[in-house]
Amino acid sequence: MDGPNRGTNRNQEQTAKDETMDRQPIVQKVYLVGAGPGDPELLTVRALRLLQAADVLVYDNLVSPAILDCVRPEAQRVFVGKRAGRHTLPQEEINALLVELGQAGGVVVRLKGGDPYIFGRGGEEAEALAAAGIPFAVVPGITAACGMAASQGIPLTHRDHAQSCLFVTGHLKDGALLLDWEALARPRQTVVFYMGVSTLPTICRELVAHGLPADTPAAVVRNATLPDAERLVGTLASLPALAAAAELAPPALLVVGEVAALAERLAP
């Protein structure tokens, strides 16, 4: 709307935005922050503010370089990333590090790919901080499954194809893959496996053995939301060979269910 009140209206809108941004002040404590699926534009406003205020940043392998560029240059950076079979620090030492940094004071940001509480081991870190009496807060992030689905044309709960959606780890604590296969092999649901690249053949074989048709659509997506994203779409029968031929490496997500086939039509 044009007119004499236009500038006033804009000022009022900006004031309202500023007041909203200041509702959660940044104080000295440990923040367990979700970095989202990789694209820095998918950071929450809260996460971005914390990155720009952090005195110390403790970050994972799954945090993209573009997101690290958002961190203020003066911040101390501590890399504690994990890759398959290679851990910079065991989780127990990461927990102890966060307690030590929290006791020292300042704004400590523990930055984790996706969401801290969805296969991010944020719960263990929160327990350690709580046991030590360290003030902390959790800032949610877009979990990898949701970011992947939105960017790759896979509507996880399309009502014509899925009545439920399950997020499952494809790599258990002791290295075994002892899952409730009968529950995972039910029809008309979507199952997203995190950390399942190395166990992809086993997952596909077990799902078929427990009742899913071999021609059930399945897709594996690597580096979703990033410029170098890769997507392979096939079936439970064909996908392991497709992934092997493409030499697909982590990080990647496996999607099983009818919605996986929609990627060919709906992907941007």
Residues with a catalytic annotation lie at 60, 82
Residue 218 structure tokens: 């399945």
How far apart CA 182 and CA 176 sit, in angstroms, is: 17
| SS3 labels along 64-125 | CHHHHCCCCCCCEEEECCEECCEECCCHHHHHHHHHHHHHHCCCEEEEECECCCCCCCHHHH
Q: How does strand 165-169 pair with strand 190-194?
A: parallel
Per the rule left: phi > 0, alpha: psi between -120 and 50, beta: everything else, 241 is: alpha
| SS3 labels along 168-207 | EECCCCCCCCCCCHHHHCCCCCEEEEECCCCCHHHHHHHH
> Could you count the other beta carbons within 10 Å of the beta carbon of residue 166?
18
